[in-house]
Amino acid sequence: MIWKYLTQCLSQFKLLFWIFIISITLGASYWVSNIEMSYEFAKILPADDPDYIVYSDFKSTFGEDGVLMVIGVKDSTFFTANK
């Protein structure tokens, strides 16, 4: 029943429907030009966290290339050849 009513309304007010669709499309295309990307490191650790301090020192010494991958391993024999 609702589909019949919807199709009748769209058929009756098709010019208004197209004006609405075009205005939404133009508005979205205007606002999409204002989108900005942020490549900053997420502030998930407090500034006084020891690991964050080590990371900040490392970044100030060696710089940053924009690609960051962090892997944590807790194994005392990680760097030994034969386990």
Do residues 77 and 83 make contact, with C-beta atoms less than 8 angstroms apart? yes
Element (H, E) at 21: helix 14-32
How many CB atoms lie under 10 A from the CB of residue 17? 13
Is pLDDT larger for residue 1 or for residue 65? 1
pLDDT at 18: 94
Q: Where are the domains of the chain?
A: 1-65
Which residue carries 């990307």 as its tokens?
Answer: 37
For 11-69, write each residue's pLDDT tens digit: 999 999 999 999 999 999 999 988 887 766 677 778 898 988 888 888 888 887 666 67
Residue type at 74 in one-letter notation: K
Please return the burial class of 52, using the count of CB atoms within 10 Å of its CB with bins 0-12, 13-18 and 19+. Answer: middle
The two most distant CA atoms of the chain are separated, in Å, by 79
